[in-house]
Structure 1
Amino acid sequence: MLLQHIFTNLSGFDEKSWSNIIDPHLAQCTANFLFKLVGQVTPVISLDRYAEPYYIVERGAIDDKVNFLATSLEQSDTNQFTIKELEYYVAAVLKSYLKSLQSMEAFESWNQHGYQSSDRSVYAFSRGLIRSMSQDHDHFLNLRMLEEWLRVNPTFLILWRDVFTYVYSKKSSKSFKSGIGLSCNLLPVLDGLATGTNYTPILDIPHIIFVNSNLPNEYRNKWRFLFSSKIMGESFSTMLAKIVNKGPTLLVVEDEDRYVFAGFCPVSWSLKSQFFGNESSMLYTLSPEMRCFNSTGYNDHYQYLNLNQQTMPNGLGMGGQLYYWGLWIDSDYGLGQSSESCTSFRDYVQLSKKQNFRIRNMEVWGIGEEPKDEDYEYGEGDGKNSILDTNLEDKVMLQLAGKEIYSEGLREPDMDF
């Protein structure tokens, strides 16, 4: 009855009407599916046929999804389609998803600070999702390849489902809309960035969705603003004072060549003379390409933060080895490194254009809810902190000033630091 109501309101499928709601290319591809019957094209569709896209993406079997996608992509009766056509389709789904978010709290929280979406970031997102396939854009796909791709792309399936939920509910009754829920945690709520600040975003909204969709589910609802070099100045000490004891964080860096990359750090930052963290750590390239690098488990070199050591590197690092980092921010702010190889992260490629780069912009986000003080008071952050670590902001400033911390000698013998 609900879809009957929608069908009546929309007077069946009207591509022009749909193009006002979703991306025109997606509307055209959906028309390919709806009006393509065996051996003929018909100008009239039934309610059952009209409802098929919604039911397929909402609860259809994998075979149904593959056939729906394949038929939508076909531009002729050749039963063939290329990777380029799939790239355009994924981009159209993302553009439609962004339209569906415009009345949502999460979207508005970013939009009010100047976060937008560009065609460049949309298509980088699309290429990032189909990277597992052949990179030859003229390469023809078959149903088996599409099925394998769909099985390993939950992000696309969520976007796809939410877009068709949105379009089918757009002109429906209020009772139907009340039962609709979009997966807004693909786009987190922005928290903690004051309005009216002199701030220009490094990221586009597609970058944020790409990063967030690869994070553990428990961290996807909120990003908390902690530091921006554009607002707070180019200062390593200021940055550290804002990020220690703040729970999981995301470091975002733009180098002087306008490459943008990031690192997700699941364990709260604290000063140590050794690597720490866990296998949830990730590195990302975001511009000019979008890729995510998960941990290999080869070593545990996930996070490193040290200061005022003559025999150890001083700065913040992720992955690799000492002096050969996946991502390195030197304590002499403005200098960084991303090595050509990094055994800590799978399929890793150098993040920056140059191995040794200069930072143009940098910002840090707290990921998920802000941890309570007691979570770290007795070492619950990563199991290795001490009561001596509870005032890490003061400790950072003392160490940057070259002051000796005499209480370090009181640490329990089995405490790791």
Structure 2
Amino acid sequence: MGNTSKKLAAKCTLLTKEEPKYVAATFRAASKNSERIREEDLIVSGKLDPVSLEKFWGPQIDPRLAQYLTNFLFGAGQQKSPTVDFNRFAELYVYNVRGTVEERMIVIYNCLGMDYNEDVELPYQLLKEYCESIVSTYMKMLKSSSSKRVRSWQDKGFRASASNVQALGEAVAATVGGDLDSPQHHCTAAQLSKWLQTNVLLRQLAELVYVNLYGINKKPGDESPAPLPPAAPSLLPAADGLEAMPDYPAVIDLSHIVWVNSHLPHKYQHKWRFLFSTNIHGESFSTMTGRIIDQGPSVIIVEDSSGYIFGGFATAAWGFGPNFTGTDEAFLFTCAPKMRVYPATSYNDHYQYLNHHTKTLPNGLLMGGQFQFGGIWVNAEPFGEGASAESCSTFRGYRRLSKEPSFRIRSLEVWGVGDKPALDKDDDERDTSILDTNPEAKAILDMAGRTRHSEGLREDPPL
């Protein structure tokens, strides 16, 4: 780093020990080695360039976010400044990556062309567009990334369409009000403060965006003016199990994956394991259950014939039985037409149920609610029919997931999340006889005095 960058970095006490050389290098590239950045270095002919800040941030940034950043850096209206110094440039990074709630509120107000004031309400539409610009920039970074994690999805046809990116931004913003489906026209500073404290996804998105924009992921000795392509984004899990399929018919979008994955317990967010798809394995309940039983926690994703996409996170491994299983970490969600999550209420423990070939109990897969009135019900016979009840006390804020109460399944997928669990029976498989799994047959042979020849043919257990 040159003397100019060292002098700049020394002026800012907000940065940690390793950050000044990266932030200063980015500042130096934009300011052409001077101590201030001029607005004309970022804006072409007085108008917002189609890819503003293109001189060193390139196509990674959404044009709306570029405008918001110039509002923060240079001000808006009569208070607009022709230049910005290094401290202000560094503040934009620090406030977004590890700022306090108040500092992050200052960023949002300033980016939207307003001075932070506890008495000033923020128009919800502006906040929604701000969230959309963050999400859009993150997705642009995904597309430009060369990481294996991103490629594992993109190579199989998973994309980030503009409509779904917009829907994810709307979902991030919608939690600022009390009613997710009918947000108010304005939000107060108190609502914004609470929202910033609880909205983990927005904080993660902003951190990833600014770490990449400011080149913090560069390798030591790299003096190139532009940041490197993003490191493997932590919000996107690795895809496991798609390698052998040359043409995977992707139903969900990268935006959907980020949305659902961000709500999973952290220990499961690093990997999604492909287990079942009706588009690949056919419409068979037996095939589905054979592929998902004993696979650990999983995500069920359903698309109905109307194009609604929804599902649930099952915390327990699936298995046949007469009782409900799972824990209060389970949730239901929608991906289309809107992205919403419905967490457990703890009112009851009807999180997941699976049964087949029984005469006295329903045969199918259920998540939430009661028999005949489930949040998600997938019928075993005939497979392809499902239902979503109008109300479900198992999950908070629940709204019917499908367009109609009863629906036809257009596609259904199941993904195991996290690492595949180690099963005890795998270790004992060599020492298992068919009689061990059928004690009644074993007892009948004993009563008849018949010799069980297989008892003497077992291998000695390994040392």
TM, length-normalised to structure 2: 0.77
Alignment of 1:154-193 (within 5 A): 154-169=200-215, 174-175=220-221, 184-193=233-242
Tell me which amino acid in the other structure corresponds to 2:133: A
Distance 2:74 2:221 in 1: 29
Aligned counterpart, 1:257: 306
- Report Cα offsets for 1:66-116 as digits up to 9, x if no partner: 011111123799966411111111111111112223222221111000100
Distance 2:319 2:284 in 1: 17
CA RMSD of aligned residues (A): 3.1
Bigger Rg, structure 1 or 2: 2
Tell me which amino acid in the other structure corresponds to 2:113: E
Distance 1:298 1:275 in 2: 14
Distance 1:353 1:359 in 2: 12
Aligned counterpart, 2:193: 147
Structure 1 counterpart SS, 2:157: coil
Aligned counterpart, 2:53: 16
2:134 to 93, 114, 127: 93
Aligned counterpart, 1:335: 385
- What's the offset of the Cα at 1:207? 0.4
Could you list the runs of 4 or more consecutive aligned residues of structure 1 that deviate by over 6 angstroms after TM superposition?
75-79, 170-173, 176-181
- What's the offset of the Cα at 1:234? 0.8
Tell me which amino acid in the other structure corresponds to 1:205: L
Structure 2 counterpart SS, 1:184: coil
Pairing 1:360–2:360 present: no
Q: Structure 2: where are the runs of 5+ without partners? A: 1-5, 7-20, 32-36, 43-51, 443-463
Distance 1:409 1:54, change over 3 A: farther
Are 1:162 and 1:182, in contact at CA under 8 Å, matched by a contact in 2? no
Aligned counterpart, 1:49: 88
Distance 1:167 1:307, change over 3 A: same
Distance 1:171 1:41 in 2: 32
1:268 to 304, 309, 317: 317
Pairing 1:71–2:110 present: yes
- Report Cα offsets for 1:184-222 as digits up to 9, x if no partner: 231101011135534221111010000000000000000
Are 1:255 and 1:357, in contact at CA under 8 Å, matched by a contact in 2? yes
Distance 2:191 2:269 in 1: 29
Alignment of 1:234-249 (within 5 A): 234-249=283-298
Q: Percent identity?
A: 35
Which stretch of the first structure deviates more once superposed, 29-38 or 234-243?
29-38
Distance 1:188 1:351 in 2: 24
- Report Cα offsets for 1:248-282 as digits up to 9, x if no partner: 11111000111000111111111101111111111
Distance 1:29 1:224 in 2: 38
Distance 2:76 2:404 in 1: 53
Distance 1:270 1:77 in 2: 54
- What's the offset of the Cα at 1:321? 0.8
- Report Cα offsets for 1:355-401 as digits up to 9, x if no partner: 11110001110100011122x779xxxxxxxx99x99xx9xxxxxxx
Tell me which amino acid in the other structure corresponds to 2:320: L
Structure 2 counterpart SS, 1:100: helix
Aligned counterpart, 1:40: 79
Are 1:165 and 1:180, in contact at CA under 8 Å, matched by a contact in 2? no
Tell me which amino acid in the other structure corresponds to 1:218: K
Are 2:146 and 2:229, in contact at CA under 8 Å, matched by a contact in 1? no
Distance 1:242 1:271 in 2: 13
Pairing 1:127–2:173 present: no
Q: Structure 1: where are the runs of 5+ without partners? A: 379-386, 395-404, 411-417
- What's the offset of the Cα at 1:176? 7.5
Structure 2 counterpart SS, 1:224: strand
Are 1:121 and 1:204, in contact at CA under 8 Å, matched by a contact in 2? yes
- Report Cα offsets for 1:165-184 as digits up to 9, x if no partner: 10111896745799999672
Structure ranking higher on relative contact order (CA contacts 8 Å, 6+ apart): 1
Structure 1 counterpart SS, 2:214: helix
Aligned counterpart, 1:381: none
2:248 to 195, 199, 202: 199
Structure 2 counterpart SS, 1:185: coil
| Aligned residue pair count | 389
Structure 2 counterpart SS, 1:33: helix
